[in-house]
C-alpha cells in the first residue's frame, strides 16, 4: 500500500466543504477555528419542512450565512456551470460530511488532494445515509468514524484513517451523535495532517464485510409488539430524539422516549398491557416485556413513568 503521490503542500489548505446536516455543522465549525481556509461551502438547496410548509435552509447554510463564506446550493452537480464554478475556486481538496447529493467523478478527480469523506461508521460496515441509527437498530457494540478517498460509488473508497467508539446499552441516536461528532473532528484533523505530511497509506475496503445503512423512514418507528422487547428498545433508542418511536392506542399516537426490557417467562399475547405502575407501562412482546418509562401524548410534554401512572390509568387499563 503506497502513499498518494502529491506535491509538498503548505500547512494551511484551501478547502471546499460539502455538507448539509447538523453533524456537518460541528465539523465545519471546528475547521473555521483552524489554520485551514474554507473557500466555499456546498450544501443542499432550501427545502420545505414543518407544519407550516416553510422554506428552510439547511443547517449548514444557516450556520455559514453568519460566516461570510461563498455558499453554493445546487440541486445537482451534473451541470457544466457548477463544474466550472467549483474548478475556478482553485481548492486543494473537497471535504464531504453528510452532504446528501451524488458527486460526479469529474468533480471527485478535480482537486490535487482529492475528495475526502468523513463517514460515521467503521467502513465497510454501514455504508449509506443512516449509519448512526442503523448501528443501534442492528445491535452493534461499536462504531466510529472513517475517512476515505471518495470514488464514484457509495462509501467504497480507500480508507485513510479510522477511530472507534463503543455503543453502550443506553446510547440513543442523540448520545451517539455527540460521541461521533467529537471523534469525527479528531479524525478529520488527523486525516488532514496525514495528507499534508504524506504520512499515511491507503487501505482498500473488503467488500465481503460490507453492510448498508439505508435511509431511515418515520414508519419504521412504529412499535411492532410481535417483535422481541430488545428489538423494540433498540428502535426507541435509535429514533430518539428524531423521528421518535411510537405506538397507537385508541387512535392516540403516543411517542416513546425511554424504555427498558424486563425478563418474562409467562405467556402473554403480544401487545397486551401487563401492568401500569410507577416504574412504567409494561407491554408484552414476542419475547420478554417492554417497560415504557417515558412517553409523550399528542400535543403534550414528555412525561416519566410516575406521571404516566398518575395521569393515564384509564387509558392504559391492563
Domain ranges within the chain, ordered by starting residue: 14-209, 218-311
Sign of CA dihedral 60, 62, 68, 70: positive
Residue 63, φ and ψ in degrees, nearest 5 = -70, -45
C-alpha 128/C-alpha 298 separation (Å) is 32
Q: What pLDDT was estimated at residue 317?
A: 87
**pLDDT tops 50 at residue 185:** yes
Which stretch of DSSP H or E encloses residue 32? helix 22-32
**pLDDT tops 90 at residue 8:** no
Evaluate whether the domain defined by 14-209 bears CATH number 2.130.10.10.
Answer: no
Per the annotation, where are the binding residues? Answer: 121-124
Structure confidence by residue, pLDDT tens digits, 116-131? 999 999 999 999 999 9
C-alpha cell at 118: 468523513
Provide the mean pLDDT of the chain.
Answer: 94
- Please tell me whether residue 255 adopts helix, strand or coil conformation: strand
Per the annotation, where are the binding residues for (6S)-5,6,7,8-tetrahydrofolate? Answer: 121-124
DSSP string computed for 255-288: EEEEEEEE---S---TT-EEEEETTEEEEE-SSS
Q: Are 27 and 185 in contact (CB under 8 A)?
A: yes
C-alpha 182/C-alpha 170 separation (Å) is 19
Q: What pLDDT was estimated at residue 50?
A: 66
Q: CATH topology for 218-311?
A: 3.10.25
Check residue 191 and report its DSSP letter.
H
Average the pLDDT over each of 49-63, 162-176, 186-200, 218-232 and give the range with the smallest value. 49-63
- Please tell me whether residue 31 adopts helix, strand or coil conformation: helix
Give the whole-number percent of the chain exceeding pLDDT 90.
92
- Chain centroid to CA 221: how far? 16
Helix pair 173-197, 22-32: axis angle to 10 deg: 40
Q: Is this structure's pTM higher than 0.75?
A: yes
Helix/strand number for the chain, H first, E second: 8, 15
Q: Are 43 and 61 in contact (CB under 8 A)?
A: yes
Amino acid at each position: 500500500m503506497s502513499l498518494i503521490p502529491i506535491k509538498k503542500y503548505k500547512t494551511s489548505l484551501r478547502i471546499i466543504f460539502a455538507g448539509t446536516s447538523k453533524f456537518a455543522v460541528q465539523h465545519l465549525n471546528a475547521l473555521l477555528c483552524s489554520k485551514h481556509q474554507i473557500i466555499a461551502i456546498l450544501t443542499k438547496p432550501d427545502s420545505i419542512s414543518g407544519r407550516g410548509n416553510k422554506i428552510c435552509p439547511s443547517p449548514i447554510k444557516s450556520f455559514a450565512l453568519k460566516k461570510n463564506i461563498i455558499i453554493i446550493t445546487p440541486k445537482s452537480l451534473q451541470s457544466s456551470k457548477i463544474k466550472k464554478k467549483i474548478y475556478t475556486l482553485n481548492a486543494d481538496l473537497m471535504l464531504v460530511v453528510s452532504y446528501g447529493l451524488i458527486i460526479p467523478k469529474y468533480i471527485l478527480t478535480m482537486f490535487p488532494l482529492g475528495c475526502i469523506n468523513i463517514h460515521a461508521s467503521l467502513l465497510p460496515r454501514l455504508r449509506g445515509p443512516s449509519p448512526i441509527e442503523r448501528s443501534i437498530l442492528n445491535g452493534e457494540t461499536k462504531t466510529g468514524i472513517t475517512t476515505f478517498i471518495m470514488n464514484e460509488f457509495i462509501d467504497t473508497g480507500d480508507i485513510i484513517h479510522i477511530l472507534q467508539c463503543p455503543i453502550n446499552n443506553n446510547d440513543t441516536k442523540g448520545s451517539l451523535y455527540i460521541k461521533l461528532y467529537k471523534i469525527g473532528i479528531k479524525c478529520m484533523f488527523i486525516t488532514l495532517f496525514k495528507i499534508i505530511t504524506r504520512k499515511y497509506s491507503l487501505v482498500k475496503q473488503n467488500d465481503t464485510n460490507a453492510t448498508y445503512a439505508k435511509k431511515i423512514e418515520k414508519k419504521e418507528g412504529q412499535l411492532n409488539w410481535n417483535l422481541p422487547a430488545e428489538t423494540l428498545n433498540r428502535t426507541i433508542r435509535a429514533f430518539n430524539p428524531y423521528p421518535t418511536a411510537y405506538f397507537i392506542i385508541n387512535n392516540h399516537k403516543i411517542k416513546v422516549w425511554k424504555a427498558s426490557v424486563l425478563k418474562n417467562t409467562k405467556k402473554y399475547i403480544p401487545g397486551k398491557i401487563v401492568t401500569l405502575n410507577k416504574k412504567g407501562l409494561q407491554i408484552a412482546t414476542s419475547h420478554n416485556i417492554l417497560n415504557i418509562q417515558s412517553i409523550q401524548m399528542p400535543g403534550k410534554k414528555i412525561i416519566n413513568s410516575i406521571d404516566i401512572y398518575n395521569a393515564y390509568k384509564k387509558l392504559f387499563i391492563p
